[in-house]
Amino acid sequence: MTTTTTTVPVTAAEDTPAVRRRRRRGLAPGKRLPASRIVGPALFLALWAAASAAGQLDPGAIPAPWTVLRTAGHLWTAGTLPTDMLTSLERAAYGFALGLTAGVVLALASGLSRIGEALIDGTVQLNRAIPTLGLIPLFILWLGIGETFKIAIIAIVVYIPIYLNLHAALSGIDHRYVELAEVQGLSRLQFIRQIVIPGALPGFFVGLRLGVTGSWLSLVVLEQINATSGLGYLMFQAQNYGQSDVILVGLLIYGVFGLVSDSAVRLVERRVLSWRRTLSS
Amino acid sequence: MAPHTQQLTAAPAVQLRGLTRSFDGRTVLDDIDLDLPAGQFTALLGHSGSGKSTLLRAIAGLDHEVVGSGRLTAPERVSVVFQDSRLLPWRRVLDNVLLGTNGKDAAEKGREALAEVGLKGRERAWPNELSGGEAQRAALARSLVREPELLLADEPFGALDALTRIRMHVLLRELWERHRPSVLLVTHDVDEAIVLADRVLVLDRGRIGLDLTIEAPHPRSYRHPLLGEYRERLLAALGVTEDHQ
């Protein structure tokens, strides 16, 4: 067994040689490595590049990283990539905005009033039980095969986690704070604005991050099922022609979108919830 | 002791007549009659489960949904200090002190209250940056800023370490001398009650078992010889006998 124990720096070591105490090993994971988020992906990329350069990978199935980059550049300048990206972004943004609004409004109505809760909460829970992607055929019948049904599906996927988390946070308000508000003579509106809403923000951000991820997830599915433009369409076409590099370009862009939007939400969250001090900070 | 004479004639700040409260058929407060004169510092002692918190919550008006009867009059401006500081973690200390106040000079009053409790310069701190004692000081400032006629304190120092508690005792007594609200301090600490209060009530099975006026000059030391007598009487009323003596 190897133990990495260090001794406590003893200033007058010659006086107390017998009681040198071993410092207890901490149970916390310790200090974070520099740039720890990038280490894993960078290693993966290096392996991929090395294997491609060594000719160990079938370029038809897994093209080299530089091939993917070259294809991306080519699609950007000479192809439809800019319009495809814009279309996808637009769909995700519309769907997300709609879902966010619906989720927040419904959660507020249901979390702040008993009548609202009776009307809304059960219905949303029922909606949650139905897999949203299973609604696609019905929505195509109702809304046609254009943009509207895609945005509607994305909005549903987004609103559910936002509603659930915000509603739970609103109705789970600490009873001690309710008492405090009564003692301090807050009006109902002041109580909601100064205690309930700020207290529910951490829960809201959990829902928001799930919602952002959900919007990309549903977008990928929708664009592969029936679309005439967009990143998913691009990838679907590439599949027909065996262009694995184009598929990888599409995946890469989806990944970047997801990463950027998630980071943006986390940035806002850190700003808004700056009063929180957690283990991760 | 000039301030006391004018208070003798004033109407009581709190008046309870036949106050009864029960939970699930169990009577917690049983037909209590009690007057708290304006400006008096009263401590309320009792075992856990004796109903002392229930009594405080009834006076604070925090017991809607509790079955009860009886008549209760209390001043309009009542402040409550809880056992936990109950600061909102998402508001800075000054904004916590100002919770529920308005008016253009509110912020100035809040700063003054914080200075009074020794938290000058911590206005912009977040509550989770404060120590337990500091948080409770901020809670005191929050209750002071409303200029209460009645200050209700529910074991406000119960969660503090012994040294901080002594410092808070001195502070609370000073604040009382300066602002003269009526105080009802709920505690299970007999020494705390004797050192701080001018009148000590013992609540026993939902009734006032003992009503004791403590006549000793302030500031009182824990080792003041007079206090030993009061201590024994109060412990006896609480059913505690010191066999080891």
Mean pLDDT for A154-158 is: 96
> CA-CA distance, B98 to B92, in Å (whole number)?
10
Peptide bond into B219 cis (omega under 30): yes
Given a cut of 70, the residues of chain B with pLDDT beneath it are 1-10, 242-245
pLDDT in tens, A222-251: 988 777 888 988 998 898 998 999 999 999
Question: Which residue type sits at A193?
Answer: R
Would you call B91 an interface residue with chain A, using a CB distance cutoff of 8 Å?
yes
Q: What angle do CA A235, A240, A245 make, to 5 degrees?
A: 50
Residue range A58-75, pLDDT digits in tens: 888 889 999 999 999 999
Domain match, B20 and B69 both: yes
Please say whether the beta carbons of B79 and B151 come within 8 A.
Answer: yes
pLDDT tens by residue, B99-140: 988 888 899 999 999 999 999 999 999 999 999 999 999 999
As for the ipTM of the complex, it is 0.88
Do A190 and B86 lie within an 8 Å CB cutoff?
no
Residues of B in contact with A179 (CB under 8 A): 62, 82, 86
Cα dihedral A27, B128, B124, A273 in deg (nearest 10):
80
Instruction: Indicate the average pLDDT of chain A.
Output: 87
Is the Cβ of B163 closer than 8 Å to some Cβ of chain A? Answer: no
- Which domain, by its residues, includes B30? 2-77+148-237
User: Same domain, yes or no, for B59 and B126?
Assistant: no
Please indicate if any CB of chain A lies within 8 Å of the CB of B43. no
Q: Is B66 helix (H, G, I), strand (E, B) or coil?
A: coil
Q: How sure is the predictor about A196, in pLDDT bands with cuts at 50, 70 and 90?
A: very high
Asked if B89's CB is within 8 angstroms of A184's CB, the reply is no
Residue A245 CA: distances (Å) to CA of A42, A55, A69, A255, B169 = 20, 16, 9, 15, 75
Residue B157 lies in a domain: yes
Residues B120 and B108 in one domain: yes
Domain boundary among B120, B145, B170: B145
- Does B88 contact chain A (CB < 8 Å)? yes
Token output for A225: 């099922």
Residue B106 touches chain A, beta carbons under 8 Å: no
Which residue(s) pair with B153 in the sheet?
B81, B185
**B78 strand-pairing partners:** B150
Average pLDDT over residues A252-266: 91
| Cβ contact B10:B37 at 8 Å | yes
CB contact under 8 A, B88 and A177: yes
B103 with B224, same domain: the answer is no
Does residue A4 carry a pLDDT above 80?
no
Chain B contacts of A181, Cβ < 8 Å?
100
Q: Between A33 and B75, whose confidence is greater?
A: B75
Q: Do B100 and A179 touch (CB under 8 A)?
A: no
Q: How close A96 comes to chain B (CA, Å)?
A: 28
Neighboring chain B residues of A198 at a CB cutoff of 8 Å: 88, 90-91
When CB atoms are compared, the residue of A184, A201, A276 closest to B100 is A184
> A178 touching B, CB under 8 A?
no
Which B residues in the span 179-238 are in contact with A, Cβ-Cβ below 8 Å? none
Task: Kindly state whether residue B242 falls inside one of the protein's structural domains.
Answer: no
Nearest residue of B to residue A195 by CA position?
A: B88
The answer to whether residue A19 scores a pLDDT higher than 80 is: no
> Do B55 and B108 reside in the same domain of the chain?
no
Tell me how many domains chain B contains: 2
CA–CA gap between residue B242 and residue B245 (Å, rounded): 6
SS3 state at A259: helix
Residues B70 and B159 in one domain: yes
> Residue B10 is part of a domain; what is its CATH number?
3.40.50.300
Q: For chain A, which residues make up each domain, given as ranges?
A: 88-272
- CATH number of the domain located at residue range(s) A88-272 in this protein: 1.10.3720.10
Averaged over A1-11, what is the pLDDT? 48
**Most B-contacting residue of A275, A277, A278, A279 (CB-CB within 10 A), to test interface:** A275
Q: Which residue of A has its CA nearest to B83?
A: A176
Residues of A with Cβ-Cβ distance to B127 under 8 angstroms: 275
Do residue A275 and residue B99 have CB atoms under 8 angstroms apart? no
Q: Are residue B107 and residue B225 in the same domain, yes or no?
A: no
Assess whether B156 and B228 both reside in one domain: yes
List of chain B residues whose C-beta atoms are within 8 Å of the C-beta of residue A186: 99-100
Q: Are B152 and B68 within one domain?
A: yes
SS3 B17: strand
**Whether B88 and A179 lie within 8 Å, measured CB to CB:** no
pLDDT-derived band at A16 (thresholds 50, 70, 90) equals low
In this structure, are B47 and B109 located in the same domain? no
Same domain, B89 and B138: yes
Is there a contact between A183 and B90 if contact means CB atoms under 8 Å apart?
A: no
| Residue with the larger pLDDT of the pair A43 and A15 | A43
- Does the residue B243 lie in any domain? no
Structure tokens at A64: 């080299």
CB contact under 8 A, B90 and A275: yes
Q: How far is CA A60 from CA A55, A145, A247, A252, in A?
A: 12, 33, 12, 17
User: Are B157 and B221 part of one and the same domain?
Assistant: yes
Q: Is B115 on the interface with A (CB under 8 A)?
A: no
> Is beta strand B14-23 parallel, antiparallel or unpaired with respect to B78-81?
unpaired
User: What is the tens place of the pLDDT at every residue in A77-92?
Assistant: 988 899 999 999 999 9
Residues of chain A positioned with their CB less than 8 A from the CB of B99 = 180, 184, 186, 194
- Please report where in the chains the tokens 């918190």 appear, as a residue: B53
**CB-based contact (8 Å) between B83 and chain A?**
no
Q: Report the distance separating Cα B60 and Cα B54, nearest Å.
A: 10
Burial of A61 (0-12, 13-18, 19+ CB in 10 A): exposed
Size of interface A-B (CB pairs under 8 A): 47
Strand order in the sheet with B199-204: B78-81, B150-154, B182-187, B41-46, B199-204, B207-213
Return the pLDDT at A24: 79
> B180 phi and psi, to 5 degrees?
55, 50
- Residue (of B171, B180, B177, B110) closest to B137 by Cα position: B171
| Residue among B60, B126, B128 whose CB faces A183 most closely | B60
